[in-house]
Structure 1
């Protein structure tokens, strides 16, 4: 690769480097390149077993850094990951959105011209873990029976190691991609993302201004009936978290009035509990269940789910009895937090409940909140929005989806299927900026393992880690081929 830079361009570049107040290191901003292509050198062979051993050690050390959120305190983890990149000659930088809340970015520069970079996104914080419930200490990074145990093994430190080691493998092999790869590890995803991905969007637009694609948690290699499916979340349900506050006269519980703040709240929650939202099948859900129908053991109605749910009442009743299936076709309402008096013999002036509503793409938050108020039918109960953001979807067809399909065919003879994620991730921040963001990490996920995410005994098999790295390398090579754009 040879760069031809004219004297005026060189002067402009030199003046830019002398400007004060630059906050993003030049190594992380994509340079303007003029180049003449030359034949790609042969790859340097990789010892995958040795690389996997290295990845296993890195993940174990990563798990041992307790980043339970709150408070998060991701800075030590970010420093460890930064050192790994710097040791390989890949520029990496840390920012703090607030003391201890860290964001790490590392960029593997490609040789592309007018190509869009890809972001490999992960988060460093994890949910709490109760050691008394685990077979091993949750922050030990224990290697047991060929598996690495600990909080974050699947959500989201294991996927981060897959992304990181794939970048290192590409660098070590001497592969020259036609686009940049940006590793981005953020803070605070488990509590909404404002301290991490949200901060990046608001404060570091130059970091992602050249990005066209993003991979994040939210999908993977699903095993159904012995067959593998590459499930790719192209959209997510959006949260509408609300607090309902009921009021009433306070007093002694020995002489209760006819209605209290607590009984008003209970009545409101009872009405919400019996309320059923409309069934609606969006395109990714339609396509996902249609693919399941090809497995043979799935109900024939999955071929046209919308029609079956509309025309077959018995099938519809049975379908929505499954909580996971119900969440795919309905807006949901789930009370999760209750608060009232702190004394048994005292009637409180107020009682409140926090309610987690999850809305399908296409649902309007304001209209949904109005319907909640109508169902409650008590104007004395106040409703406040705690968290909400607009639903955004990525296209089901793209170069990135094509690359995922190719990897699925090469490794597993498996189809890639779009899906709806019933939770939410940091991907929505980037979708709002027009970046094609998919929830997909090429790790095999057995149904039993999904229950370990946010649960007990979370772990990942070492062989699964290796398979994820190999597939991610292949995916990046396909997307980073010189024919890409």
Structure 2
């Protein structure tokens, strides 16, 4: 499908919305600055605070909305602009954020402080900033009053940072009417990244599948001074050591191979050839180790992985416990069911006497790039950022998009705000922040992309 070169949607960006004295990107920055100060750290979440904040903005615009709590304090909100009969476009955001330890920050994580040209605070990058960009787009379409070719739905959910079961997953199960007729969805997951050679806009189309596992061992307890040949602790340690020393075999799946080939176009001389032919590169253990040292993220896209994240046995130093457990954060490539992976892991540790329980496992799905939304991303970023390039992207983390790919809705993780590669370590880390000038430009870019889709 080919988009026409000139579209009324882009022209709308050149005219003031109604009689507002403040531009939408300035409004968005003000909203985000306040939004950061609202504590929605998960756990416990308290996302109803965010729902109240968003609801107040919608009420001031005269926009109706609905809310529902999946549990006390776990609020979700949705609102809809009615349009024509084309499949609806959903803008999805989560309102919870991960914890932040203030003693490791240079500012209060919930201060919304502005300094050095940045807005600082937990959620500026993940994903309150994107959420406010979506809200600004939604309100701009409402203010413009121009007929839409499809419904536009804004959904703000709880609990993404802990799996989404009190948020997007709960809405899919308990309020499926929100998503009826939806044919496109935009969420977090990709963005603009300024690299050494070029500006690259990465659109997340799939992700490694999370498989969270608990390993449990039971054996004879006793006094620490009289060890038995085996114990719950030695069994767990043996199992974890087998997993640590037996990495899963590397393999390439088409979406990831395409991503590496795209990266090769702007890679350094050292990585141009390996990235362009990853099917061969992964056959060399030394090349894989070199890649892991260079980029743990890119290396993680070459194989299934497990990280040992939690481990517990006795609560007393001289007691051998009857039970010990460990938890693994495993992420598998999106080309086979998680059940196959779990069986492989069980086979690996079967002689240790350790039981394996699946805490959480999603299904694999990949979104096509042959949609009007993906083409709009290409068109708008190309016009507003000459010389830039758009590429499909595969994430090692997970987002709520998987719930909707399971429903057959093409779902993209994308925010056009340009973030330098060096800033990504701040996501879930210390001193999270966003460049104000880049953010305000990203707000307008986001509006232009969505307007290109929803106006004929």
Q: TM-score, with normalisation over the residues of structure 2?
A: 0.92
Q: Alpha-carbon deviation of 1:49?
A: 6.7
1:211 and 2:193 aligned? no
Deviates more, 1:124-133 or 1:314-323: 314-323
What is the Cα-based RMSD across aligned positions, in Å?
Answer: 1.9
Q: Alpha-carbon deviation of 1:379?
A: 5.4
Judged with a 3 Å threshold, the aligned counterparts in structure 2 of structure 1 residues 342 and 449 are, in CA distance, closer, same or farther, namely: same
The residue that corresponds to 2:300 in the other structure is: 327
Q: Alpha-carbon deviation of 1:396?
A: 2.6
Q: Alpha-carbon deviation of 1:284?
A: 2.1
Q: Is this contact kept in 2: 1:79–1:94, CA < 8 A? A: no
Q: Which ranges in structure 2 are unaligned for 5 or more consecutive residues?
A: 1-7
Q: In 1, Cα distance between the equivalents of 2:267 and 2:227? A: 60
The residue that corresponds to 2:424 in the other structure is: 450
Q: In 2, Cα distance between the equivalents of 1:360 and 1:190? A: 20
Q: Is this contact kept in 1: 2:48–2:73, CA < 8 A? A: yes
The residue that corresponds to 1:469 in the other structure is: 443
Match among 261, 269, 273 for residue 300 of structure 1: 273
1:411 and 2:384 aligned? yes
Q: In 2, Cα distance between the equivalents of 1:87 and 1:210? A: 28
Q: Is this contact kept in 1: 2:380–2:448, CA < 8 A? A: yes
- SS of the residue corresponding to residue 71 of structure 1 reads coil
Q: In 1, Cα distance between the equivalents of 2:267 and 2:67? A: 49
- SS of the residue corresponding to residue 264 of structure 1 reads helix
- SS of the residue corresponding to residue 81 of structure 1 reads helix
The residue that corresponds to 1:3 in the other structure is: none
Q: In 2, Cα distance between the equivalents of 1:254 and 1:219? A: 54
- SS of the residue corresponding to residue 57 of structure 1 reads helix
Match among 287, 290, 301 for residue 318 of structure 1: 290
- SS of the residue corresponding to residue 261 of structure 2 reads helix
Q: In 2, Cα distance between the equivalents of 1:313 and 1:352? A: 32
Q: Alpha-carbon deviation of 1:52?
A: 2.5
1:280 and 2:251 aligned? yes
The residue that corresponds to 1:393 in the other structure is: 366
The residue that corresponds to 2:337 in the other structure is: 364
Q: Is this contact kept in 1: 2:266–2:272, CA < 8 A? A: no
The residue that corresponds to 1:222 in the other structure is: 193
The residue that corresponds to 2:323 in the other structure is: 350
Match among 10, 17, 23 for residue 50 of structure 1: 23
Q: Alpha-carbon deviation of 1:363?
A: 2.7
The residue that corresponds to 1:90 in the other structure is: 63
Q: In 2, Cα distance between the equivalents of 1:48 and 1:396? A: 38
The alignment covers a number of residue pairs equal to: 440
Q: Alpha-carbon deviation of 1:309?
A: 2.8
The residue that corresponds to 1:380 in the other structure is: 353
Deviation above 6 Å: which 4+ runs of structure 1? none
Q: Is this contact kept in 1: 2:148–2:454, CA < 8 A? A: yes
Match among 175, 193, 205 for residue 234 of structure 1: 205
Q: Which has the higher contact order (CA 8 A, sep 6+)?
A: 2
The residue that corresponds to 1:158 in the other structure is: 129
- SS of the residue corresponding to residue 429 of structure 2 reads coil
Map of 1:68-83 to 2, 5 A cutoff?
A: 68-83=41-56
Match among 104, 117, 124 for residue 133 of structure 1: 104
Q: Which has the larger radius of gyration?
A: 1
Q: Alpha-carbon deviation of 1:400?
A: 1.3
Q: In 1, Cα distance between the equivalents of 2:197 and 2:23? A: 29
Q: C-alpha offsets along residues 146-195 of structure 1, whole Å, 9 cap, x if unaligned?
A: 21111111111000011111222233334432112111110011111000
Q: C-alpha offsets along residues 33-76 of structure 1, whole Å, 9 cap, x if unaligned?
A: xxxxxx99x84425897333221221111111100111111112
The residue that corresponds to 1:34 in the other structure is: none
1:189 and 2:163 aligned? no
